[in-house]
Amino acid sequence: MKDLAEVLNDWEAVIGLEIHTELTTLKTKMFCSCPIEHGAEPNTHTCPVCLGMPGALPVPNKAAIESIVLAGLATNCEIEKHSMFYRKNYMYPDMAKNFQTTQGPVAFCMRGHLTLEVDGPGVEERHGIDDLSEGDTMENIVKTDYGYAAKVGITRIHMEEDAGKMIHVGGVDGRIAGADHSLVDYNRAGTPLIELVTEPDLRTPAEARLFMQELRSTLLTLGISDCSMESGSMRCDGNVSLRPRGSKTLGTKTELKNMNSFKNLHDGLAYEICRQAEVLESGGVIRQETRHYEPATKRTITMRVKETADDYRLFPEPDLAPYDLSDEFIESVRKKLPELPRQKKQRFMEDYGLTRDDSITISNDVELSEFLDKAMEIDSSLATQVSNTLINEVMAYLNQNNVTLGETKITPEGVVELCKLIDNDTISSKQGKTVFQEMVETGGAPSKIVEDKGMKQVSDTGLIEDVVKRIIDANPDKVEAYKNGKKGLSGFFIGQVMREMKGQANPKVVNKIVTDELEK
């Protein structure tokens, strides 16, 4: 099988995403008062409404509708004032009532878009990008100094209720194939779920992954979901087809279901693109089907033949009246819009002077963004130092220990104080790492830690000169070798000075004095 780069030379991939996000920060389900609680005992949060008992009538959750309108506004959608719910009929145990309540052709949010900033290795996946100069356009992209910007259309964001959770005991990777028996938990059934459907504007797996990341950081900033891909509160299906490069006719698409990580989304689409190319180049035909990506084997396999809209027998939900959203309601939601990640990124660059990469990294994390702003209120002159500490130390600690910033003893005051100690040469950057570890373990103030551990850096030039001269006098052979061209030996002398001074000498001062003495 050819690799992705080879395939994309001859074929153009057409990719669209369907991203499902549970509104986990709400207290109750979409059409009943059952609580939303991940990890609760199975089938303890159910009632006649979410179980579909005869005569039970749904009551819509106003907070859920506010949340989807908020999501629509944040993704540049037009908010439809008039819409309604439908019944999507299917026979499967994950919905006891044998239908799902969902929106029909007109959703609450229609015709939106997100603009992706593609950089790094992801740029290499886009065919023809090297032929463009900065500012040139090609289809939905614009070449930039960092790579390119891609405008990706959003067809709709509609509201529906989530299904229950099926557990297949004995099957491979939790799937039904080969299972001894299946269990069903209806706690999740009826949870408010928003589904975002993109236009087929994506052309590479890298763009698909970046879209998912951009949407996730946006929804986290809105505070409407925890967007946990591990627990399933955010899930992605990918639709992909191929056509010969230069053709405008769409090929037959396949759907990859429930990819639960950014890596799986990228790798699953990449494999499926290569698989389809192999089938087509060997004279085969692509079937419209639903496939499953297996991370362990890094391949996709057939799940079932793809259903069509007719199979679901959609019809208007008779127990729910149509919706008419007022201008006042929409504007009241608009006022709740927070500063979005892309806006934060621009502000961090303009107000704090951070690099584009650092600004993107921090703005995509709600906690880090708030932390940075609080730190800048204390001392904005240390923006670069604080940013570096957040990315290199704080994020590494959070990832290593699988904790959130709020679960640690790290404070903006502590990080600013640490950065000041390093900036004014009280301690070295290497010592700063030691102080940081002590900070997160004890919650102590950096200056107190430095004092208690006797870590204050020595910058007394006279004292350092005495040590340097003594070490130089003790190593005449190495001095001679240095003067004969082995300039790397300066590191030997610097190391000896730092060793004798127990690591407390200012490295900048030591480096200058050693160089000056050796060059005499």
- Give the per-residue pLDDT at 457: 64
The verdict on residue 303 lying in a domain is yes
Task: Please write the tens of the pLDDT for every residue from 257-280.
Answer: 878 899 999 999 999 999 999 999
The verdict on residue 103 lying in a domain is yes
The verdict on residue 349 lying in a domain is yes
Residues 163 and 256 in one domain: yes
Q: What is the DSSP letter of 81?
A: S
pLDDT band at 256 (very low <50, low <70, confident <90, very high): very high
Mean pLDDT score of the chain, rounded to an integer? 92
**Residue 54 in this model has a pLDDT that exceeds 80:** yes
Which of residues 331, 352, 380 is at a domain's end? 331
Residues 236 and 314 in one domain: yes
Alpha carbon separation from 393 to 365, 383, 429, 435, 439 (Å, rounded): 15, 15, 11, 11, 12
The verdict on residue 291 lying in a domain is yes
- Give the per-residue pLDDT at 460: 66
- Total number of domains in the chain: 3
Residues 402 and 366 in one domain: yes
**From CA 161, how far away is CA 190, in angstroms rounded?**
5
The verdict on residue 78 lying in a domain is yes
Task: Please write the tens of the pLDDT for every residue from 415-463.
Answer: 999 999 999 888 888 889 999 999 999 999 999 998 887 777 666 677 7
Residues 280 and 424 in one domain: no
- Give the per-residue pLDDT at 174: 64
- Give the per-residue pLDDT at 455: 73
Pairing between strand 254-259 and 289-294? parallel
Which of residues 331, 360, 389 is at a domain's end? 331
CB-CB neighbours of 397 under 10 Å:
17
Residues 267 and 382 in one domain: no
The verdict on residue 504 lying in a domain is yes
Q: What is the DSSP letter of 456?
A: P
Residues 391 and 501 in one domain: no
Which range of residues forms the domain containing residue 284? 4-331
Residues 379 and 236 in one domain: no
The verdict on residue 433 lying in a domain is yes
Residues 351 and 480 in one domain: no
Residues 383 and 506 in one domain: no
Q: Which of 113, 80, 6 is nearest to 324 (CA)?
A: 80
Which of residues 300, 331, 362 is at a domain's end? 331
Residues 376 and 473 in one domain: no
CB-CB neighbours of 288 under 10 Å:
14
**From CA 400, how far away is CA 137, in angstroms rounded?**
41
Task: Please write the tens of the pLDDT for every residue from 5-31.
Answer: 999 999 999 999 999 999 999 999 999
User: Token match 């719910």: residue?
Assistant: 85
Q: Look up residue 57 and give its two tokens.
A: 């009538």
**Residue 173 in this model has a pLDDT that exceeds 80:** no
CATH code of the domain covering residue 467: 1.10.10.410
- Give the per-residue pLDDT at 379: 96
**From CA 57, how far away is CA 355, in angstroms rounded?**
54
> Which residues, in sequence order, are CB contacts of 171 under 8 Å at separation 6+?
177, 178, 179
Residues 275 and 234 in one domain: yes
Q: Which helix (DSSP H) or strand (DSSP E) does residue 254 occupy?
A: strand 254-259
Q: Which of 146, 139, 81, 149 is nearest to 110 (CA)?
A: 81
CB-CB neighbours of 10 under 10 Å:
15
The verdict on residue 336 lying in a domain is no
Residues 377 and 248 in one domain: no
